[in-house]
Amino acid sequence: MRTPTLTPTMTLALTLALTLAITITITITMGLGCQSKVSDTDVFQEKPSVNVSTVTAVASNENSARALYAVAMRVYRVEVIDLSTREVRATLDEKTVERIKSSIVLNGLDTSLTVTSPPWDVVLHLHIPGRAPFIAHPVGLDRLRLRSDVPENSAVPSIDEGFDLVAGEVTIDFEVSDVLHQLLGEPSKEYLMEDSDRRDMIRYLETE
């Protein structure tokens, strides 16, 4: 039987592949570790920075949620973009970004789409080194929707047009929407209570 020999090119390719595999392993391990470090109080202690400027980066959703899931741990900045003015409303603080990253890795891709309409007319630009930012719509209570067909359209994709559900949304921590609420104000009515119901709730829960 002939013993295989490695050419210099094959050796280089093997070394690169091994390095990449080790990097991915470390990244995922770090990602899982980050989840336990983030607590509710951390998120609320540090307010997101508000930085209104015009969007300059060309965003892309090629392969949508599937692609984001694969590289989630490399997200280094998340901007909140106002869909009507095209301005950067805010840049999320580091702890919220970590929370988004780790929850995407932990929760993975979702095989369904959220019915509830988006709470705000904004998108998140998730920046990754060496690629255009992903465009994600916060939807429902804890999802990010990524449309590869029309990235800036927040609507549930028309299901009769063969949309790939598996590539549509990722689940993030529920508390991220609280951070966005602090930044953007009240969400749409589907998420809210009527004032009279809210007063009744508070009275009941604090005194009953």
Partner 1 sequence: MSDHAVVKVIDERGKDMEPVLVILRNQAAFHQFFSVADQGLSLDLGSVKPGTYELVIALANRPQLPFSVAVVAKRGAAKSITFKGMVPRCCTLTRQSAFAGTASSRTLHVFTFSLARSHHEVIMVSGWTFKGQKNFMAYVNTWRNDLYNGSTWISGERKPIAQEVFDHTVVTAFNAETGLRTRQIKGRTGWHTMDTVLQGTVPTHTGSTKHESSNRRRHDEDSLSIVHIYAYITDLGAVAPGSLHRFDVFSHAWMGGPILINTVEDPEFKGNGARSAERDPGDKDGRTKDFNSLNMPGISASNFRRAFASGASARIWGCFATKDYRHLIQAAAHATDPNSLMTVKLEDNRVLNTTGRRIEKYFRNRVLSDTYMAELAKVAQIQVFGAPPGLGSNVSRVGRRFYLYVDQKVFALEYRWYSDTIGIDPDDAGYILFS
- Residue whose CB is less far from partner 1, 98 or 110: 110
Looking at the DSSP bridge assignments, the partners of residue 142 are none
Cβ-based neighbours of 160, under 8 Å, separated by 6 or more: none
Please, what is the minimum distance in Å from the beta carbon of residue 206 to partner 1? 6
- Considering the complex, what minimum distance in angstroms separates the CB of residue 31 from partner 1? 20
Q: Which residues of 166-205 are buried (b: 16+ CB within 10 A; e: fewer)?
A: ebbbbbbbebbbebbeebbeebeeeeeeeeeeeeeeeeee
Give the tokens for residue 181: 């609420």
Query: Which C-beta is closer to partner 1: that of 4 or that of 185?
Result: 185
What does the alpha-carbon distance between residue 7 and residue 19 come to, in Å, rounded to a whole number? 18
Residues near partner 1 (CB under 8 A) are 44, 84, 110-118, 121, 140-142, 153-160, 165, 171, 174, 177-178, 181-182, 186-187, 189-198, 200-202, 204-206, 208
Query: Residue 96 Cβ, how far from partner 1 at the closest point, in Å?
Result: 15
For partner 1, give the closer residue by CB, 2 or 160.
Answer: 160
State which residue, 91 or 103, has the beta carbon closest to partner 1.
103
Shortest spacing between CB 45 and partner 1, in angstroms: 13
- Minimum distance of partner 1 from residue 133's CB (angstroms): 22
What H or E segment, with its residue span, contains residue 133? strand 131-139
CA 145 vs CA 134, 151, 172: distances in Å:
10, 9, 11
Structure tokens of 4? Answer: 């295989």
For partner 1, which is the closer residue by CB, 58 or 159?
Answer: 159
